[in-house]
Structure 1
Amino acid sequence: MLDKTIHMEWSVYPVMIRAAPWFYQALQLFTAASIALILAAQLGLQYPFWAAMPVWVVAQPYREDLMLRAALRIAGTIFGAAIGWFTLTMIGDSAVSILVLVVSVGAGAAATFWIGTVYSYGVLLAAITVAVVLIPALDHSVDTTQLAADRIWCTLIGVVMVTAITFAFTPRRPEPPPKRVAPPPWVTLRHGAIAAGAALLGLGLLKLISGPAGISAAMALCIFSMLIAGSRNPAPILRHMPVGATIGVAAALAYRALDMILHDPVGMAALLAVPFIAIGAALRSHPRTAAIGLDANMCFLLAAEAGAAGHGFSAHFQGGIALVLSAVLCTALFRRIGVVP
């Protein structure tokens, strides 16, 4: 594996910066994400773009971190999907769903911040998955079982692909990780409360706007707030998130425009995404664009629903614009509140 690794070891917003030739890392990520997306689409999963998402964050500079993050991603996703599924199918009350979502976002951010190590990743993914399952159901009727199952299967595919492809090229950790430093309890509670407030704001926008824009805004505010509030060092996120989201959404709209122009009746949407994944892998791996590349890749996959049939250009445009505006709003709010140490 490439040397001279610089990594934010304990961040929930991992940034890998490797020395040249960085394109070896880009090739690994491109291969893993492309295979994961195409495989999920070929298996008939409704949300194949979820399969490519783990690739960008599970890959790590050290083998121990790679394996641990892979296990935590799977465990957190299963736990969060179970909570979302149980809330919608066994309780089925919108007020309860809102309560579960807000508590999950707040508690997830607080726990992530309090743990402050790679072990926080499982908690973060559980809370994110709760949001992914519950938010669409608060706007329209969904097949909860399929939604939760797709999330789990796509996660498994993505984690297996990135682990299998990068494991042999990932070195062992040369020294023990730094010791955890426990934050003051009141700071932890404050971060959780801020994230919960952002989730309420997102749900308010969902109620006011509804549709693709409302869902995208609610999802973005929940997830972005957890990433920022759960981080011990949110400064890089606040700096790069709006730019990365803008690049990702621009790529998503270009992807959907091409999909419409080519008018692909045989379902080659996953293959059409491959060139965009190649560019995203280069952004994620290059030392100067690694942080922006993470947000760009995630927002591209979400806004484009890469590999899926899609919902028409107008719906993707509305959702994409809402995603970018939510990134700007979320970072502005956190800067105003002052979470940066």
Structure 2
Amino acid sequence: MQHWIWRAVQLFIAAAGALAVAWVFELHNPYWAVMPIWVVSQAFREDLVIRAILRIIGTLIGAAIGLAALYYLPNPVLLTLAVGLSVGLGTLAAFWIGTVYSYGAMMAAITVAVVVLPAMANHAAPLNLAVDRVWCTLIGVIAVTAATFPFTPLRGGDRLPIRANHGGVRGLKNGCVAMACTILGMSIALLVGDFWAVGFALALSIFSALMGGMPDASPALRYILPGSAIGIAAAIVYRLIGATLELNSLGLYLLVAVFLAAGAILRANPRTTNFGLDSNMIFLLTAEVGTVGHGAFNEMSGGAAMLVAALIVSALHRRLLPAHLAEKARRRPA
């Protein structure tokens, strides 16, 4: 058996297990528990442990900032500015650190948006969202660590540096783009209030923080559009099958297990690993796995809005990349 196939089995076990636990405990957004599986898993044990710890720390910090903003800034304009500033500063901090240790800052930035946006646009209970986010993160991190740690080799050699200098001006630009994208998305979500607008705002915030925090965003730029499109298509197929067959909770879980298995293969295969990361994340966000969902029309419009957000953010970051990295981003995916 090739090594990556065994890794795919581990990722599937972790993803299916995390989803099952979150689903059984009736957490509001159980698919959040699967998201750490695709990101925390690493080629070396040291990186796995660092990512696992920073995922939890970053989520706790982001949830605390988001809750504080919601409770102490009732004015929507001030709240929008505060969240935009938080995402921008988190993105800047992630780029400034520029190593595996940047993951905590990036997760804090993303979690602020994830906690605040649904509460603002849909009047969801912010404390419930924050608590759910933390529980799902813990479940996902424990699942992926338990499933992959024993089989992940040590890197050995010298310890990784805590920080690497990739250029202060680039980091500042990336932080400003993330702040502007978040403010734009939140403003549209507040004005419109529809499901697609919230998805658009979340995607703008998340994509801009992810790409802005990377010293080299060229791999993400190459794969984000095709990966997002596949993830959206898979989510729509999942929802249509579930609705057509009128599946109960167990049936939906068994159905999504098929998609998780495919996602694990994409993520573990070295040729499709970057592509698989994007498609898996977008699939979970669009399909809202483990929830009642918002109907086929809303899910299709929400998926389309996420794809537009990916286009906007990728176009902005192509202009921000240095020439040699921009050339890498223009190459067609293998």
Aligned equivalents of 1:324, 1:88: Cα separation in 2: 28
Aligned equivalents of 2:201, 2:160: Cα separation in 1: 35
Aligned equivalents of 1:204, 1:93: Cα separation in 2: 13
1:314 aligns with 2:297: yes
Aligned equivalents of 2:242, 2:269: Cα separation in 1: 28
How do residues 45-56 of structure 1 correspond to structure 2 at under 5 angstroms? 45-56=27-38
State the one-letter code of the partner of 1:202.
Answer: G
How do residues 290-305 of structure 1 correspond to structure 2 at under 5 angstroms? 290-305=273-288
Task: Give the equivalent residue in structure 2 for 1:255.
Answer: 238
User: SS where residue 27 of structure 2 aligns?
Assistant: coil
CA deviation string 1:136-194 (max 9, x = no partner): 12212111111110000000000000001111001111222554432333332122112
Deviation of residue 267 (structure 1)?
Answer: 5.6
Deviation of residue 202 (structure 1)?
Answer: 1.8
Aligned equivalents of 1:147, 1:249: Cα separation in 2: 23
Task: Give the equivalent residue in structure 1 for 2:331.
Answer: none
Greater fraction of residues in helix: 2
Task: Give the equivalent residue in structure 2 for 1:228.
Answer: 211
How do residues 261-280 of structure 1 correspond to structure 2 at under 5 angstroms? 261-266=244-249, 268-280=251-263
Maintained 8 Å contact 2:40/2:144: yes
Task: Give the equivalent residue in structure 2 for 1:137.
Answer: 119
Aligned equivalents of 1:134, 1:299: Cα separation in 2: 19
Aligned equivalents of 1:286, 1:266: Cα separation in 2: 30
Task: Give the equivalent residue in structure 1 for 2:42.
Answer: 60
Task: Give the equivalent residue in structure 1 for 2:150.
Answer: 168
Task: Give the equivalent residue in structure 2 for 1:289.
Answer: 272
CA deviation string 1:208-253 (max 9, x = no partner): 5431110111111111011111111011111100111111110000
User: SS where residue 77 of structure 1 aligns?
Assistant: helix
Maintained 8 Å contact 1:38/1:307: no
Which of 173, 179, 195 in structure 2 is aligned with 1:196? 179
Which of 185, 188, 196 in structure 2 is aligned with 1:205? 188
Q: Gaps (5+ residues) in structure 2? A: 326-334
Maintained 8 Å contact 1:59/1:162: yes
Out of 180-189 and 140-149, give the one that drifted further.
180-189
Give the direction of change, closer, same or farther, for the CA distance of 1:74–1:149 in structure 2 (3 Å limit): same
Maintained 8 Å contact 1:191/1:229: yes
Out of 329-338 and 112-121, give the one that drifted further.
329-338
Aligned equivalents of 1:44, 1:186: Cα separation in 2: 45
Give the direction of change, closer, same or farther, for the CA distance of 1:207–1:339 in structure 2 (3 Å limit): farther
State the one-letter code of the partner of 2:275.
Answer: I
Q: Identity across aligned pairs (percent)?
A: 44
> Could you state the TM-score of these two structures normalised by the residue count of structure 1?
0.90
State the one-letter code of the partner of 1:52.
Answer: V
Out of 185-194 and 131-140, give the one that drifted further.
185-194
Give the direction of change, closer, same or farther, for the CA distance of 1:237–1:116 in structure 2 (3 Å limit): same
CA deviation string 1:18-55 (max 9, x = no partner): xx331101000011001101110000101000000000
1:237 aligns with 2:220: yes
How do residues 34-45 of structure 1 correspond to structure 2 at under 5 angstroms? 34-45=16-27
1:157 aligns with 2:157: no
Aligned equivalents of 1:22, 1:337: Cα separation in 2: 34
Aligned equivalents of 1:336, 1:328: Cα separation in 2: 13
User: SS where residue 22 of structure 1 aligns?
Assistant: helix
Deviation of residue 126 (structure 1)?
Answer: 0.7
Deviation of residue 313 (structure 1)?
Answer: 1.1
Deviation of residue 300 (structure 1)?
Answer: 0.4
State the one-letter code of the partner of 1:78.
Answer: L
User: SS where residue 186 of structure 2 aligns?
Assistant: helix
State the one-letter code of the partner of 1:292.
Answer: F
CA deviation string 1:54-108 (max 9, x = no partner): 0001111111111111010011101111111122134333223212210111101
Maintained 8 Å contact 1:270/1:308: no
Maintained 8 Å contact 1:87/1:96: no
Task: Give the equivalent residue in structure 1 for 2:308.
Answer: 325
Give the aligned length: 323
State the one-letter code of the partner of 2:306.
Answer: L
Aligned equivalents of 1:106, 1:112: Cα separation in 2: 10
